[in-house]
Structure 1
């Protein structure tokens, strides 16, 4: 069967603070699927309450959020087991066969292994990483422990548990200060899109940063602030290649503020994205090697974006994190990197579908 004849189900929205970004990414992907001549596209939206609907309207209403108010939305039900490759619409009791699920759910309940677990229980093919890789990569404490074990360089870091922090804030902050010099970054262990991240220059800042980060998760990672260039690479699993894994050219982010936060990523057009980044041959090889190693360490499948720092004072390449379901908006780095590496929208989408089949 040709790719164009497959039925593809894009799942978007979600129950977290990245709901709107997921919707923007989904609109971009659905447009790309159409440009790739995919004939059958299902649009499944998940509300912030966790309700799942089949939306049959214009994909532009996904991006602006109007899809949820469509009167023709139908509640979706799933069937677990070997015959579960699809979904029911509850209102008319119709079964809709799906060849490949394409999750576009950022953050918790999306790229943390939960929706991937559902696909496994449906015995369905899907784009992207599996349960383990998604869960490990989402949890910055676990992934950092793995990267340390594999000798992939990172900024110095530590972490705190919410219950212990709330029971004794002073000693918790002293623990951080004993290990890391200011400035430091505090970030939720399980959140994406720079949600809940703050930079702290002193103890007062640190307390505020930790309080904010703990609003989003029960674990918080604190890392040494790096004065460095922010570099990103896209990784894609391409079955047509002998080694199957392709790493894009590198891109550099020059934020429009102190660091590349949520507003810089998605709401502002002021940050500068330089693709390809100006790098030495050694820097390019090092970045590419670490990106591949990080992807393999977590048992990655399909795709990821690998984020790095190049420390200005030492020239060291430091892994920041890998993102197994990166943003796919019009201004997102992942598609831009691959477009500058020979993967236009159509080829990118088709390659991701082929990786799901294989």
Structure 2
């Protein structure tokens, strides 16, 4: 019997539609000689659906219609360790099993899918899953947390500061003065926990700064503000592997239509390969030395954050000084960054196979660990008091 791979896509995120495209790309890239793909669509409300109706991108032009045709399911791991997709409205005597999966393959960008929430659900159900674990997913999604760890590791980043949205609502003037005294203008203002350039704004003066922060606090409780890099060139590098071995892809240079690579640049323009509409230069116009530096910094970022599977690390380069700055990590990158691996001779199908094998490897390693002990302290507890003793 083939291994059944549950490819999860969509999700409760502003990146919902992007995740549908990425997820279906991954589903169709599976090696059908080894795996049977099971599409699992997560709606914006968090409902799970499966069925053959969910395998075509055209079907999602009308999500209401496609979910009526598909089957609503919930994940359940039974006493025999089988990972079942069951009808949420069970029969009288036993749940109705719709399908079964052996490995979960999350391709869910953004909140509740890339931030550790979905990974936690899969952990609790003991389902092997592709990609970063709970901790590295959560840290990678929270740009402030990731920057704090990378700063501690001595890795290069642009100057930045952050504050909670409550600080903004309590004292706007103090926040503005802090930005002006510590960073100056121009700056980039962004939510701490979103991707796809959602909510990212450039500010060159106080008015633009205030407007940008007003926008960001509608998306996130943490506001991140970075000093803008002069003479900017943006490049990206993907890493695949785990703590035992992390391989770097070719480096891409990202073309853009404005000072910031926007959602429009990434997903709405035409002509680029894969999901993203942004124009790419592969390999990037960099010296061999700078390319090697970017690849090594990408590897170190991946390992410092405890990542697994495939990630993409984005960089900002000052073309005059040559300084390379780590911008952010994407632990579930758009299209799984397959377009960065194909130039190295790794097809999309080979990439998905490698990711599944890494997931199974981690599951085997976790199975060898002890998470609970065979004892019951309560059964040995004296009957003396309500709260007992502590020592």
Matched, 1:66 2:62: yes
**What SS does the corresponding residue of 1:211 show, helix, strand or coil?**
helix
**How many residue pairs end up in the alignment?**
347
1:277 aligns with 284
Report matched runs for 1:45-56 at 5 Å.
45-56=41-52
2:140 aligns with 137
CA shift, 1:68, in A, is 4.2
**Which of these two proteins has the greater Rg computed from alpha carbons?**
2
CA shift, 1:64, in A, is 3.5
**What SS does the corresponding residue of 1:340 show, helix, strand or coil?**
helix
**What SS does the corresponding residue of 1:151 show, helix, strand or coil?**
coil
- Equivalent residues of 1:9, 1:102 under 8 A apart: yes
Greater CA drift, 49-58 or 300-309: 49-58
Q: Cα deviations across residues 56-110 of structure 1 (Å, max 9, x unaligned)?
A: 2152246744354233322212225772523213357115321110111111001
TM-score, structure 1 as length reference: 0.92
1:89 aligns with 87
Greater CA drift, 346-355 or 71-80: 71-80
- TM-aligned CA distance change 1:124 to 1:271, over 3 Å: closer
- Where structure 2 has 5 or more consecutive residues not aligned to the other structure, the ranges are 91-95, 271-276, 362-391
| Distance in 2 (alpha carbons) for counterparts of 1:232 and 1:278 | 12
| Distance in 2 (alpha carbons) for counterparts of 1:310 and 1:91 | 54
| Distance in 1 (alpha carbons) for counterparts of 2:348 and 2:143 | 30
Matched, 1:180 2:183: yes
Match of 1:25 among 18, 22, 28: 22
The Cα RMSD (Å) is 2.0
| Distance in 2 (alpha carbons) for counterparts of 1:81 and 1:308 | 44
- TM-aligned CA distance change 1:63 to 1:291, over 3 Å: farther
- Equivalent residues of 1:78, 1:84 under 8 A apart: no
Matched, 1:353 2:349: no
Report matched runs for 1:2-13 at 5 Å.
5-13=2-10
Greater CA drift, 55-64 or 340-349: 55-64
2:368 aligns with none
- TM-aligned CA distance change 1:145 to 1:286, over 3 Å: same
Q: Cα deviations across residues 297-317 of structure 1 (Å, max 9, x unaligned)?
A: 111011110100111221011
**What SS does the corresponding residue of 1:57 show, helix, strand or coil?**
helix
Matched, 1:338 2:341: yes
- Equivalent residues of 2:267, 2:278 under 8 A apart: no
2:12 aligns with 15
| Distance in 1 (alpha carbons) for counterparts of 2:64 and 2:129 | 24
1:252 aligns with 253
Greater CA drift, 280-289 or 141-150: 280-289
| Distance in 2 (alpha carbons) for counterparts of 1:145 and 1:16 | 25
Q: Deviating runs (4+, > 3 A) in structure 1? A: 35-39, 61-68
| Distance in 2 (alpha carbons) for counterparts of 1:81 and 1:221 | 43
| Distance in 2 (alpha carbons) for counterparts of 1:118 and 1:81 | 15
1:327 aligns with 334
CA shift, 1:36, in A, is 4.6
| Distance in 1 (alpha carbons) for counterparts of 2:294 and 2:57 | 38
Matched, 1:160 2:156: no
Q: Cα deviations across residues 303-338 of structure 1 (Å, max 9, x unaligned)?
A: 11010011122101110011100011xxx8x11111
1:298 aligns with 305
Match of 1:42 among 17, 38, 41: 38
TM-score, structure 2 as length reference: 0.84
- Equivalent residues of 1:105, 1:111 under 8 A apart: yes
CA shift, 1:187, in A, is 0.4
Q: Cα deviations across residues 121-165 of structure 1 (Å, max 9, x unaligned)?
A: 010111100000000010011110111100100010000210110
| Distance in 1 (alpha carbons) for counterparts of 2:330 and 2:233 | 18
